[in-house]
A and B are shown apart, each in its own frame.
Chain A
């Protein structure tokens, strides 16, 4: 979850979070701009489809809005946002609707790769090959059980350390290490032949 804008100074961040606590519209807008892409990106990697990722991002910002008054202006909200995003995705995974949809066809008639190709006329062949591989990697991530998927996404995609992941998923450091080992072994097995 990398912010789009350069990191804020502590003072700026404090002022922004104070504004968010007061539900000041300008502060809420700035906060949204700083975090929305990262939240959506993480939700997409955990859920694997644009539509549930949009719904998850919406739910995350709803929870942020409700909890804004309790934000600590002296702390980076990034870890908390990741935790909320993961919790929302976990709720989605547990929902009967999501489980049902996993056994069905996607609703999106225009998959992300088609949009990338349409928007990038130069080197379409290279983009297609890279994109196809990325889709296979994403599909393999999506076939991992949820508790393994979240660990591999948070570690290798979001770049978090195991102790940081342990905080997010409410597990011990040792448990996260074990899950990661199982996750990466299964992923490697699924991607055999794709990455050679």
Chain B
């Protein structure tokens, strides 16, 4: 029982040989390419935060998170920096939002776009965003932090309140996308889904493809198209139900529009 091969037991020798015999594991080519570009261009950033969400945050961590958000926002708004942005789709940019503490008509965002990493509170109306051929999203009244898709690793949407609808596009395969709310997480392997969050619960509706949904990593389960999972803030058991027909019709209207936009 030692590092010296001559003193190892036969079983230990076999175990060492088995480890030596493992084949090298290569990274996913799409991830490798994105990381290489980010490293060479200097735009590399820290990986997206891990998927586990503390259900109750301390006041101190809230302040730290708020300060971090302000710093990120300030970084993106530096005058010498022209950030890549989400394109704001004209037809649905109606209503008002709070961006960087200022209330702005959503239509004004059509000029500037929305940089990745921005936290937006949509007060009324709907904000429709698209990033190249990667994904389209519609944010209904509520608060969401949009991720920067240029960064490798998982794209994490933080939904504090309200509803976000997501449609992935032809550039999506090979990426990972998560939506987090205080009650749970949805990890998408499919194409179209919606997450709604209010004070009492989070509901994830899957329209096409599949999504792994759960209150935490241990609770993740695959939700097929046409179904929704409702997770409650009070800790009562989650439910899996059919999507309500009226809601599905509204979601499908977004899906059709988003697909057309992503295919251009």
Contact B19 A152 (CB under 8 A): yes
In the complex, chain A residues 102-145 whose Cβ is within 8 Å of any chain B Cβ: 103-105, 107, 109, 112, 133-134, 137-138, 141
A195 CB contacts on chain B under 8 angstroms:
11, 14-15, 18
Are B31 and A100 closer than 8 Å at their CB atoms? no
B238 at the interface (CB under 8 A from A): no
Chain B: residues with Cβ within 8 Å of the partner, total of: 53
Which residues of chain B from 18 to 76 have a CB within 8 Å of any chain A CB? 18-28, 31-32, 35-36, 38-42, 44-52
Check if A155 is an interface residue, CB within 8 A of chain B: yes
| Interface SS, B side | loop
Binary contact readout A46-60 vs B (1 if CB under 8 angstroms, 0 otherwise): 000011011111110
Contact A61 B41 (CB under 8 A): no
Q: How near does chain B come to A135, taking the closest CB pair, in angstroms?
A: 10
Selected from B26, B35, B220, the residue in CB contact (under 8 A) with A105 is B220
Once the chains bind, are A40 and B218 in contact (CB under 8 Å)?
no
Contact A28 B20 (CB under 8 A): no
Distance in Å: Cβ of B35 to nearest Cβ of chain A = 6
CB–CB A37/B27 < 8 A: yes
**B257: CB under 8 A from chain A?**
no
Pairwise interchain contact B31-A54, C-beta atoms closer than 8 A:
yes
CB atoms of B47 and A184 under 8 A apart: no
How far apart are the CA atoms of A51 and B174 in the complex, in Å? 12
Q: Interface stretch among A9-17, A69-77, A78-86, A90-98?
A: A90-98
Binds A, one of B2-10, B87-95, B113-121, B227-235: B2-10
Chain B positions 127-166 with a Cβ under 8 Å from a chain A Cβ: 151-154
Docked-complex contact A157 and B19, CB < 8 angstroms: yes
Tell me if B212 is interfacial: C-beta within 8 Å of chain A: yes
Cβ-closest chain A residue relative to B53: A97
Contacts of A100 in B (CB 8 A): 52, 216-218
Contacts of A55 in B (CB 8 A): 47-48, 50, 153-154
Q: How far is the CB of A157 from chain B (nearest CB, A)?
A: 5
| Residues A192 and B11 in contact in the complex (CB < 8 Å), given A57-B35, A107-B187 | yes
> How far is the CB of B231 from the nearest CB of chain A, in Å?
16
Interchain CB contact (< 8 A) of B39 among A40, A65, A196:
A65
Question: Residue of A at shortest CB range from B210?
Answer: A109
Distance, CA A90 to CA B253, complexed state (A) = 47
Given A57-B35, A65-B39, A134-B23, A188:B12 Cβ within 8 A: yes
CA distance A145 to B242 in the complex (A): 44
Shortest distance from the beta carbon of B259 to any chain A beta carbon, whole Å: 23
How far, in whole Å, are A182 and B1 apart by their CA atoms in the complex? 7
Q: In the complex, what's the smallest C-beta–C-beta distance from A120 to chain B, in angstroms?
A: 12
Q: Are B25 and A54 in contact (CB under 8 A)?
A: no
Residues A161-196 near B (CB distance < 8 A): 162, 176-177, 180-182, 184-185, 187-189, 191-192, 195-196
A104 to B22, Cβ gap below 8 A?
no
A97 near B3 (CB under 8 angstroms)? Answer: no
Residues of A within 8 A of B (CB): 2, 23, 25-26, 28-29, 32-33, 36-37, 40-41, 44-45, 50-51, 53-59, 61-62, 64-65, 95-98, 100-101, 103-105, 107, 109, 112, 133-134, 137-138, 141, 152-153, 155-157, 159, 162, 176-177, 180-182, 184-185, 187-189, 191-192, 195-196
Residues of B with Cβ closer than 8 Å to A?
A: 1-3, 8-9, 11-12, 14-16, 18-28, 31-32, 35-36, 38-42, 44-52, 151-154, 176, 187, 189, 212, 216-220, 222
Given contacts A103-B218, A176-B3, A188-B11, 14 further A-B contacts (CB under 8 A): A37-B24, A40-B25, A54-B27, A58-B152, A97-B49, A101-B51, A107-B212, A133-B18, A152-B16, A184-B1, A184-B8, A184-B16, A185-B9, A189-B11
Q: What are 22 A-B interface contacts by the 8 Å CB criterion?
A: A23-B42, A29-B40, A32-B35, A36-B35, A37-B26, A45-B25, A54-B153, A55-B47, A55-B153, A58-B152, A59-B47, A61-B44, A62-B45, A104-B218, A105-B217, A105-B220, A109-B189, A109-B212, A181-B2, A182-B1, A188-B11, A188-B14
